[in-house]
A and B are shown apart, each in its own frame.
Chain A
């Protein structure tokens, strides 16, 4: 089946720093989403981005489907950005979303 790997697995930043999180997938996908899981476990939808670039405030995402990767950019990080970031990919062959391995982010004040 499709493999979804995220890097880096862990990231520690000082408040105000910028970061790039990467999601690589091993096969063609039809859709891709980015989520933030906060320290209490709630998953929050960030982007629905099968291709192209989207921006929402300090966050932006780019998916290059032909090269099988997606990037999530976090600028001017804040302590509330801490948590785990997951990408999830959907393939029509499986009819389900497969979650990536996650990036655990900690932003220090």
Chain B
């Protein structure tokens, strides 16, 4: 149980284009999902918290107009990287929380590797 999928698993795009990444909880409902970013050989950095039916909460320093998050249902959250540039190349990981308490465990998707040329 507690499986989270991400699509695509990797994507290469040209500078200036937009890329959408999907995160789905396959066997549970998640009112809250999270988006992380990981640079090579570094730890995970939380970008934003996505709540179903409401606006996402972005961490300090994360541009909300560049990283658009939509959590339209209890099983799907999307991250759109708008007007991508080479510095946006990274490993993007989502997680979903089955429980309602903020400190409950999270389950992670397999990640999406984005390369912007």
Number of A-B contacts (CB under 8 A): 50
Fill in one digit per residue for B79-116: 1 if any A CB lies within 8 Å of its CB, else 0.
Answer: 00000000000010101000000111111101101000
Interface presence of A101 (CB below 8 A): yes
Whether B46 and A97, one on each chain, are in contact in the complex, defined by CB atoms closer than 8 angstroms, is yes
Let me know if B54 is at the binding interface, CB within 8 A.
Answer: no
Chain A residues with Cβ under 8 A from B78's Cβ?
none
Within 8 Å CB of B111, what residues of A?
Answer: 41-42
Q: Are B49 and A96 in contact (CB under 8 A)?
A: yes
- Across the interface, name the chain B residue whose C-beta is closest to A47: B105
| Interface residue SS majority, chain B | strand
Asked whether A30 lies within 8 Å of B103 as measured between CB atoms, the reply is yes
Q: Is the CB of B49 within 8 A of A43?
A: no
Contact sample, A vs B, 19 pairs, CB 8 Å cutoff = A30-B103, A31-B103, A31-B104, A40-B110, A41-B110, A41-B111, A43-B44, A43-B93, A43-B95, A45-B2, A45-B107, A50-B103, A86-B43, A86-B44, A97-B46, A97-B106, A98-B46, A101-B43, A104-B41
